[in-house]
Amino acid sequence: GGNKMKLGDWTPIVCFKHDGSVHRSWNKTLVINEDKESFVLGNDNALVYEADGRNWRVKEPAITIFFKNKWFNVIAMIHEDGIKYYVNIASIYKEIDKNICYIDYDLDVSIKPNNFVKVLDEHEYYLHSNDMKYSRNLDFLIKNALYEVLDLADAKKFPFDNDKIIEFYNTFLKMKGDK
């Protein structure tokens, strides 16, 4: 409909937990690219609100990539010493009232500029999986997404492609400048 987000729109991102509670949100990110597989946003100094009431500003610019058919999203942070990737294993996003919304499934992957890869929050995953009763099918989707991320990161394939991220970052700077 006419209410869909489009290139150049600023949009909030809202992240939920499986039980429907809000986990974290970002006040504004700029829609910079969309194709049949992904939706790409850029931000710098966005305000992040945590579930416990704290909030903080993102210190470095970031490109966030949401996929239309993959159970993860990726935040590529542009640092002086290179690009740091932070991957959220998460549901496929939905657009609700011009907000990008997704459910966070605890497991995260961090990839440093030197390509050091680390899987985070496995303990949290097992706790939430029990508490919130993740189904076997959901567990399968989550584990599958994790293996896919590790394979893509290992092969430096999109979205773990520094050149592509820099290209998106330059697009962000240009579009932001026009605002």
Number of Cβ within a 10 Å radius of residue 46: 22
Helix (H, G, I), strand (E, B) or coil at 90: strand
Helix (H, G, I), strand (E, B) or coil at 157: coil
User: In 3D, which of 96, 83, 85, 76 has the Cα closest to residue 25?
Assistant: 96
Under a CB-based contact definition with an 8 Å cutoff, are residues 74 and 103 in contact?
no
Q: Tell me which of 24, 54, 57, 136 is the catalytic residue.
A: 24
d(CA 29, CA 41): 6
Helix (H) / strand (E) element for 10: namely strand 10-16
**54 given a catalytic annotation:** no
- Strand locations in 35-152, DSSP E? 38-43, 47-50, 55-57, 62-67, 72-79, 82-90, 94-96, 99-111, 117-120
Range list of H helices, the chain:
122-131, 136-155, 162-177
Which sequence positions are flagged as catalytic? Answer: 24
